[in-house]
Amino acid sequence: MLLDTTFDPKSIIYLFDMIGIVACSVSGTILARSKNFDPMGCILVSMVTAIGGGTVRDVMLNRHPLFWMVDMNYLIVITITSLIFQAFFENSQRISPQTVDKWLKFTDTIGLSAFTLIGLKVALSYGANPLIATLLGIVTIIVGGMIRDMICNEIPLVLRKEIYISAGIAGALVFFGLQHLSLPSWVVEISTMLTVFCVRMLAIRYDWYLAPVHQWFNIMKK
């Protein structure tokens, strides 16, 4: 559906990126509110969640100025999202936490696909090899949520059950595989995002998780 049309893929990446930023802001605000953070604390945790991963990636690559210093939209979108959520959605009788959670998983996964692709592209443009680029793609995905959980004194969920890193690695494999076939860059990019999106959505839908390594051989034996 997406593949048989021509468009500026950059705009799609940017749109998906912003959807992910909004999702991260909401998840940061929810966790911060549950720990009784004040409004300013909630906004700060939202910022850490949304731009923490990209910031660590940029610092590791020595990429300055940082992406959110160049494009003001990030800080503005995060602040407005967090304030709106704190004002209207919290304690809302009309919208249940389950509905919020469902939408959050969907928008978060859209963001995940954009974050992975952006991480890969930024790392490659700074001369990283595929292994480093994949790692920096994963850093972009998970470090924000990890710092959020560290601030809020929780053990990061992204490292335990959720198919986050695996989805990112699947996306990276598709990216480098298709790039190797010299396909046009927008095909590579859309396919990468679709892969990340589908792997995580299927994992959520069918409750997939990665078995412990010492069970892999037993599973293969069966």
Which residues make up the interface to a second copy (CB under 8 A)? Answer: 32-33, 35-41, 44-45, 47, 55, 59-62, 64-66, 69, 72, 75, 83, 86-88, 90-91, 127-129, 131-132, 135, 138, 142, 146, 150-156, 158-161, 165-166, 169, 209-214, 216-217
- In this complex, which beta carbon is closest to a second copy, that of residue 75 or of residue 100? 75
CA–CA separation, 16 and 56 (whole Å): 20
How far, in whole angstroms, is CA 85 from its chain's centroid? 20
CB of 68 to a second copy, least distance (A): 8
- For residue 3, the minimal CB distance to a second copy (Å) is 29
Nearest residue (CB) to a second copy, 2 versus 150: 150
Give every CB contact of residue 109 below 8 A, 6+ residues apart in sequence: 196, 197, 200, 201, 204
Instruction: Report in angstroms how near the CB of residue 1 gets to a second copy at its nearest.
Output: 30
The least distance separating a second copy from the CB of residue 119, rounded to whole angstroms, comes to 14
Residue with the two structure tokens 């601030």: 151
Q: Where are the alpha helices (DSSP H) in the chain?
A: 9-34, 39-61, 67-70, 73-84, 97-125, 130-151, 165-180, 185-205, 213-221
Taking the C-alpha atoms of residue 174 and residue 169, their distance in angstroms, rounded to an integer, is: 9
Quote the DSSP letter at residue 157: G
- Minimum Å gap between C-beta 180 and a second copy is 19
Nearest to 31 by CA among 41, 22, 21: 41
- Closest contact distance (angstroms) between CB of 52 and a second copy is 11
Q: What is the largest CA-CA distance in the chain?
A: 55
Q: Which is nearer to a second copy, 138 or 190 (CB)?
A: 138
* 168, 196 Cβ separation under 8 angstroms: yes
